[in-house]
Each structure stands twice: as C-alpha cells, then as structure tokens.
C-alpha cells in the first residue's frame, strides 16, 4: 500500500443512505471518509451522461411531504430550493378525461374528501368502498406484515375499478410492485401518511435538477464539515485489525477508522461480506454473524423499474406530471417543464413503468413502440410532434419488494461485529424501499455509531386537524 488514510468512520457507498450517515456524523464532529465506486454520487438515485443520447439522464424519483428525514437533509445541505412541490395530482383516463386530487380546507382526515367525491374516474360504489378501506388506516397501519395488500383488497371488498384507478396506481408508484407482493403493513403506512394523518403528508416534490447534482449538495455538506469523499474508490477488502480498528483497501490506498458503515444495496453488501476479515478476538462470532446476515439478504427480492425517455420538437401537454390509468405506463413526467427548460429545447418527457418484470425481457423497440402508442391515447399532440430521440432505462434492481413476512429478515443497522454497521433502505427502517427509507437508515446507522441510534432521526410528520385529538390515532 502506498498510502494510509485515517478517520473516525468510513462510509462505503455515496447513495442517499451513505450521504445521510456521513452528513450526520460529520456534523457531529466526527472525521468521516466516504468511498464510492462510481464516478458520481446518488447510488440508485443517480444521473449520468448517456453515451448514445448525449444527454444527462436519470430515472425519476420523487419526495412526499411525509419524507421528513429526506426533506431535513435537503434543508441542511442547501438543495431544498431544488425541489418543486405540487399540491394537486391529475389522473388521466385514455381519451383525456381527468380527475384531480388536492387538499381542501377541511381538517385531516377529511382534507381530500371533496376531491374523492368529485372524481369522475370512480363511481359511488367505488368511492364508498374506498372510504371503508381508508377507515382501517385511521389509527395507523398494521403492526404485523403477514397480510398482502391483495388479500386486504379482497377482505375490504374493494371494487375492480377502484383497484385499477386508485389503489393500484398509488401502490405501484410508492412500493414499485404488484399488490400480491406488497405487505398491508407498508401499504397501510403509505395511505395513512399520504391521505389521512395530515394535510401536508401527500404533497408531491420533484427535484428540478438531475439527481446526482441534487445529491451532490449533501456531499458538499460533508466536505464543509471536514469529511472526505473519494469517487471511483472500489473496495477490495475489509479487515479488522488487532486493535479493533477497521482497514478498508482501495487500490493502492488503505483507509483506517474506528467504525465502518456499509451503505450499499443488499446484493452489493452480500458480495462484499466474504471480503470482511475479523481479528482473532471476534473470529468465533464471524462465521455465525456472516451466515445470519447472508440468510436475511437471501430473502430480499428485487423489483424492477423501467423509464422511457422521449424528446419531442414541441410540447405535448401543459401538465408537469400525471397518473396514466388503464395502461402499461403508470406515470408521466414532463421533465422539460419541471426543470424549466427553454421552449426552443422542445419537450422532454419521462414515462415510468413500475414493477416492470415483463419489460426486462422486451427489446428497446418493443417497449418504445408500445409506450408511444399508449401515450397518444392521453395526449393527441404526440401524433403531430416529431420524436427527436429516445431512450429506455431498465433498472432490474431498482428497489426491494416489501413482501409479506419480510420484516424479520430486514437486519438492524448495528451488527454483532463491534464497529461494523449497515445502512440501506433494505435494513430495518419501518419504511418501504424509498429515498426516505434510505436516509432514515443512514441516520440510524450514524446514531448507532454515536451510541444513540435515534439521535439524528427527524420526527415524522405531525398529525393535523382532527387527527391530533386524543383517541383518534
């Protein structure tokens, strides 16, 4: 080794989890080194220049008003002004008929009631069933995760139309998987936080800049507190020395620290675990702990995500975003409007297909042809506009599925190896696979390093309106 760098904590991974952990620790006075194998930050929520398109591309990620830890990190790092917030959401049916959801002046939990009552995409029978279902989440969400949302939809007698036009779109967007694969515990959390608990939890926030640029603000915050970020730093080995400190080998440099946080997706953590070597004092627990962690990670399941990127010569809609119903595409994002591109740059659109297992085996042309045909049924201007260029991004490992029974296989951030911690949305956060879950995991890991696990965790969105009354929740 040609160099040895020393710090209090090494964080492996500069995604949302790693950046959140490092920012918390650096802000608390710890010396922190962040190692990231890619040439940019953001992890799965990253952006990069596409070699064929010559455009900075990313897959769309959003925030919600209930994402208190992510919002706080953005405020601390100075990227909060790079979020555009929306209080109204539009649902489009083929042919162009639209319904909107927006909070009224009524107190929670009735703030969305006028919007629900006026939805043309649903009939009265559908709306009554929805009300019956939402009442189940007034007091929160289930403590156990043994029921699928598919079973819950049947148990609460939801109509086929309400499933197609409300329950399924919301769940696909937030949990990125089919109802048969999602636990009612996490679906319940989504509906409680977004539609019941407060009038602000369901606000939609969309970054107005490419994602790596968005998260680079957190990296600069770390550096302003004395931390170090090393890009293109691929970890080769992790060793606990005889004095209990951890050594991480990267190319011709070794990094030494009292503690290490692996802030990686579960499949990358799984690959790296065999490269962890403990000293003689803890060798006896090394094998059992590694086996236990590998067993838990083996129970994690990926859910894919496909983005279709389209550049037209003119605007095809005056909407910034919309839910697209009764189609393969779940969500439409007008990124040129969201990011306020000059009109002469045309119309840049991203279409999202969540839980896109079928698309993994399809060709680019098959996906693109189908998406354009479906898009025309919502926006007639597509037929008149010229498609300048296009791209398809398939993320086979976009998220993990919150399948029923998964909770007992989500590991804590603290391990049995002294000074060795885990972070990532897949760890035990009480949240599904979201950027908020990732940031929470990083902050929980940082708190564990400091001896107080919840030290850096922001309070959840407070209840408002009638939901503040004793006995309501």
For the segment 37-74, what is each residue's pLDDT rounded down to a tens digit? Answer: 999 999 999 999 999 999 999 999 999 999 999 999 99
Bridge-based pairing of strands 32-35 and 228-230 is: parallel
Indicate if the pLDDT at residue 461 is higher than 70: yes
What does the pLDDT look like over 290-310, one tens digit per residue? 888 989 999 999 999 999 999
Question: What pLDDT score does 278 carry?
Answer: 84
Alpha-carbon torsion angle 415, 418, 420, 425, nearest 10 = 30
Rounded to 5°, angle at Cα 408 from 407 and 412: 85
Question: What pLDDT score does 287 carry?
Answer: 64
Question: What pLDDT score does 346 carry?
Answer: 86
The mean pLDDT of 108-136, rounded to a whole number, is: 95
Within this chain, do residues 294 and 419 fall inside the same structural domain, yes or no?
yes
What domain range is 31 assigned to? 3-51+210-300+403-450
CATH of the domain at 295: 3.50.50.60
Task: State the angle between helix axes of 68-77 and 211-224 in degrees (0 to 180), rounded to the nearest 10.
Answer: 70
Within this chain, do residues 318 and 296 fall inside the same structural domain, yes or no?
no
Sheet holding 88-92, edge to edge: 98-102, 88-92, 321-324, 331-334, 347-354, 302-312, 387-400
- As given in the structure block, the two tokens for residue 222 are 């770390």
Indicate if the pLDDT at residue 121 is higher than 60: yes
The mean pLDDT of 165-177, rounded to a whole number, is: 94
470 located within any domain: no
What does the pLDDT look like over 183-216, one tens digit per residue? 999 999 999 999 999 999 999 999 999 999 999 9
72 located within any domain: no
Query: How far is residue 288 from each of residues 246, 423, 452, measured CA to CA in Å?
Result: 20, 20, 26
- As given in the structure block, the two tokens for residue 199 are 């009038």
Indicate if the pLDDT at residue 251 is higher than 60: yes
130 located within any domain: yes
pTM of full prediction above 0.75 = yes
Q: Where are the beta strands (DSSP E) in 168-301?
A: 204-207, 228-230, 237-240, 246-250, 253-263, 276-277
The mean pLDDT of 308-336, rounded to a whole number, is: 96
Tokens 């959840």 identify what position? 460
Within this chain, do residues 8 and 32 fall inside the same structural domain, yes or no?
yes
Distance CA 260, CA 247 (A): 9
Indicate if the pLDDT at residue 451 is higher than 90: yes
C-alpha R_g of the chain:
23
> CB under 8 Å to 283, separation ≥6 — which residues?
none
338 located within any domain: yes
Indicate if the pLDDT at residue 471 is higher than 90: no
Count the Cβ atoms, other than its own, within 10 Å of residue 380. Answer: 13
What does the pLDDT look like over 78-94, one tens digit per residue? 999 999 999 999 999 99
Within this chain, do residues 344 and 254 fall inside the same structural domain, yes or no?
no
Within this chain, do residues 291 and 312 fall inside the same structural domain, yes or no?
no
Closest CA to 285 of 412, 417, 411: 417
Which domain-ending residue is among 130, 162, 196? 196
Question: What pLDDT score does 284 carry?
Answer: 63
Within this chain, do residues 285 and 417 fall inside the same structural domain, yes or no?
yes
Within this chain, do residues 96 and 185 fall inside the same structural domain, yes or no?
yes
Indicate if the pLDDT at residue 472 is higher than 70: no
357 located within any domain: yes
Q: How confident is the model at residue 2 (pLDDT cuts 50, 70, 90)?
A: low
The mean pLDDT of 265-286, rounded to a whole number, is: 82
231 located within any domain: yes
284 located within any domain: yes
Which domain-ending residue is among 166, 196, 226? 196
Question: What pLDDT score does 432 carry?
Answer: 95
The mean pLDDT of 117-136, rounded to a whole number, is: 95
Within this chain, do residues 415 and 292 fall inside the same structural domain, yes or no?
yes
The mean pLDDT of 402-421, rounded to a whole number, is: 95
Q: How confident is the model at residue 1 (pLDDT cuts 50, 70, 90)?
A: very low
269 located within any domain: yes
Q: How confident is the model at residue 424 (pLDDT cuts 50, 70, 90)?
A: very high
Within this chain, do residues 12 and 97 fall inside the same structural domain, yes or no?
no
Question: What pLDDT score does 24 carry?
Answer: 98
CATH of the domain at 363: 3.90.660.10
Within this chain, do residues 377 and 418 fall inside the same structural domain, yes or no?
no
Indicate if the pLDDT at residue 314 is higher than 50: yes
pLDDT higher at 244 or 369: 369
Rounded to 5°, angle at Cα 300 from 294 and 306: 135
Within this chain, do residues 259 and 327 fall inside the same structural domain, yes or no?
no
Within this chain, do residues 317 and 395 fall inside the same structural domain, yes or no?
yes
The mean pLDDT of 419-431, rounded to a whole number, is: 97
Domain count of the chain?
Answer: 3
């Amino acid at each position: 080794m040609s160099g040895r760098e020393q710090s209090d904590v090494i964080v492996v991974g500069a995604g949302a989890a790693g950046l959140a952990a490092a920012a918390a620790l650096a802000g608390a006075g710890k010396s922190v080194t962040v190692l990231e194998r890619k040439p940019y930050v953001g992890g799965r929520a990253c952006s990069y220049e596409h070699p064929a398109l010559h455009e900075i591309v990313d897959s769309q990620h959003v925030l919600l008003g209930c994402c208190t830890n992510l919002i706080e990190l953005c405020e601390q790092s100075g990227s909060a002004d790079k979020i555009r917030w929306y209080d109204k959401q539009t649902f489009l049916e083929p042919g162009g008929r639209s319904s909107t959801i927006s909070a009224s002046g009524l107190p929670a939990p009735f703030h969305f009631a006028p919007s629900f009552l006026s939805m043309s995409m649903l009939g009265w029978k559908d709306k009554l069933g929805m009300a019956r279902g939402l009442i189940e989440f007034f007091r929160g969400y289930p403590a156990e995760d043994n029921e699928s949302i598919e079973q819950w939809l049947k148990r609460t007698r939801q109509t086929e139309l309400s499933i197609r036009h409300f329950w399924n779109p919301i769940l696909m967007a937030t949990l990125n998987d089919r109802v048969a694969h999602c636990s009612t515990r996490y679906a319940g959390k989504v509906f409680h936080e977004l539609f019941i608990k407060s009038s602000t939890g369901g606000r939609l926030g969309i970054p107005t800049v490419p994602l790596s640029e968005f998260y680079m603000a957190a990296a600069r915050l770390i550096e302003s507190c004395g931390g170090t970020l090393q890009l293109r730093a691929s970890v080769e080995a992790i060793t606990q020395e005889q004095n209990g400190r951890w050594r991480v080998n990267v190319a011709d440099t070794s990094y030494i620290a009292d503690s290490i946080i692996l802030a990686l997706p579960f499949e990358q953590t799984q690959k790296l675990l065999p490269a962890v070597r403990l000293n003689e004092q803890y060798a006896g627990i090394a094998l059992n702990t590694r086996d236990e962690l590998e067993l838990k990670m083996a129970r994690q399941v990926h859910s894919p995500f496909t983005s279709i990127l389209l550049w037209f010569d003119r605007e095809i809609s005056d909407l910034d975003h919309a839910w697209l119903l009764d189609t393969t595409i779940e969500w439409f994002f007008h990124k040129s409007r969201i990011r306020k591109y000059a009109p002469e740059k045309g119309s840049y659109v991203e279409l999202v297909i969540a839980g896109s297992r079928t698309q993994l085996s399809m060709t680019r042309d098959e996906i693109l042809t189908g998406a354009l045909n479906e898009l025309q049924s919502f926006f007639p201007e597509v037929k008149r506009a010229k498609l300048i260029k296009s791209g398809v991004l398939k993320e086979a490992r976009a998220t993990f599925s919150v399948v029923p029974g998964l909770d007992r296989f989500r590991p804590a951030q603290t391990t049995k190896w002294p000074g060795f911690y885990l972070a990532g949305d897949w760890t035990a956060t009480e949240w599904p696979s979201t950027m908020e879950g990732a940031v929470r995991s990083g902050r929980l890991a940082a708190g564990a390093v400091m001896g107080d696990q919840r030290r850096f965790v922001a309070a959840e969105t407070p209840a408002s309106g009638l939901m503040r009354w004793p006995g309501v929740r």
